[in-house]
Amino acid sequence: MPDPLVLAIESSCDETAAAVCEGRRVRSSVVATQVEIHRPFGGIVPELASRAHLASVTTVVSRALADGGVALADLDALAVTDGPGLVGALLVGVMAARGLATATGLPLYGIHHMEGHLFSVSLADDRADGGPFVPHVALLVSGGHTELVDVSGLGAYRILGATRDDAAGEAFDKVAKLLGLGYPGGPVIDRLAAEGDPAAVAFPRAMIDDGLDFSFSGLKTAVAVHVDRHGPPRTRKALADLCASFQAAVVDVLVAKALRALATTGRGRLHVAGGVAANGGLRTALAAAARRHGFPLACAERRYCGDNAAMIAAAAAARVAAGVPPSLHVTPNEGLDSPSRAVVP
């Protein structure tokens, strides 16, 4: 059987996206980013987000079909992110997808946003091929999530550890705000960190020797206390040192926990996905750890680290190919390991 051709819509948070995948091969991927809309506010504004999704969804779907050279009649299935996320934002994508499903009679798959991120590592296009979806440990790091997942197969996910307070991406955004660096915080801190001394300030590595859960709230507090005590950095060098020291603290913890997850599960393979997976400091440190310990490492391509619909389409295509029946239930706050989403072999 040829790889299923799937059109997917993603609107769970900041981006309105649509894509067509043939299996895990990306035929098209369109993302209407809202970063410019939200930048003046230092973060997403839910009401603006829903309105912006609504304004963009038809356009991105049409463009995804056109870019992929695909007509609705060619498709095998439709997919949409049905959680977690802001209810209003999710519903814009779900309503659009339901409309298309009614009009075409195609099956509609609701996909968990984080399952999409798991598949972002496996996407293939003209520039790269992430390789097949095989058992692995996944480090999922983004603005809203930081978790380690034991992936034994399609729909067989066990959460090994997660953040107890702030997500890693949230720590980047909030520290950037503390330092007056704007939104989003990750890229600008990553750039500055590259010129700074990561040993300049000894920030805490919370729980680094303890289990697989994360805590980044204390680190954020430590940066706030440092700025309060010493004043905001007055030179570019001081700012770069502070960014490098903060980023090193985040990266050290992420790498240590990922290694521990590999050791406790006995899985020989690490995948990394989510917006923070685009961070240069994290990618370099993980690559060094993979060389040192001799395990295969696969990071999502940077263009697929942020939210996109190609990863949703690929996850749905895998379910179609495996003969999993379609289901859709909008759940704003349900974990990746929810039994209702499991694939029973």
Partner 1 sequence: MQRRGLDEDALAALAQTLGAVLEGGEVLFLEGPLGAGKTTFVRALGAALGLDAPGRVCSPTFTVCMVHEGRVPLMHVDLYRLGEAGPMGAASAAFEALDLEAVAETLSRPPVVAVEWPEYFDDPLADRLEVRLAYEGPDRRRIEARAVGPVAAARLAAWRARAAPPSGSDGAPGSGDAVHGSSSGTSSICQRSKTAGG
Binding mask 167-206 for partner 1 (x = CB under 8 A): x-xx---x---x----------------------------
DSSP 188-230: HHHHHHTTS-TTSS----TTTTS-S-B--HHHHHHHHHHHHHH
Name the phi and psi angles at 187, rounded to 5.
-60, -40
Residue 332 contacts partner 1 per CB under 8 A:
yes
Q: Which residue of 74, 88, 104, 194 would you call a contact of partner 1, by CB under 8 A? A: 88
> Which among 329, 344, 303, 339 has a CA at the least distance from the CA of 28?
303
Minimum CB distance to partner 1, residue 163 (Å): 5
Residues 280-309 binding partner 1 (CB under 8 A) are none
Report the residue number, 125 or 166, with the smaller CB distance to partner 1.
166
Residues 124-163 binding partner 1 (CB under 8 A) are 143-144, 162-163
Binding mask 36-75 for partner 1 (x = CB under 8 A): ----xxxxxxxxx-x-------------------------
Report how far apart, in Å, the C-alpha atoms of 101 and of each of 11, 71, 108, 215 are. 17, 14, 6, 42
Q: Which residues contact 29 (CB under 8 A, 6 or more apart)?
A: 17, 19, 64, 303, 304, 308, 309, 310
For 42: left if phi > 0, alpha if psi spans -120 to 50, otherwise beta; the answer is left
CB 203 within 8 A of CB 178: no
Q: Which residue of 102, 129, 164, 230 would you call a contact of partner 1, by CB under 8 A? A: 164
Minimum CB distance to partner 1, residue 335 (Å): 7
Residues 206-225 binding partner 1 (CB under 8 A) are 213, 217-218, 220-222, 224-225
Structure tokens belonging to residue 135: 């058992």
Minimum CB distance to partner 1, residue 45 (Å): 5
> Which among 6, 294, 267, 24 has a CA at the least distance from the CA of 132?
24
Report the residue number, 113 or 283, with the smaller CB distance to partner 1.
113
Residues that bind partner 1 (CB under 8 A): 13, 40-48, 50, 84-88, 143-144, 162-167, 169-170, 174, 178, 213, 217-218, 220-222, 224-225, 332-333, 335
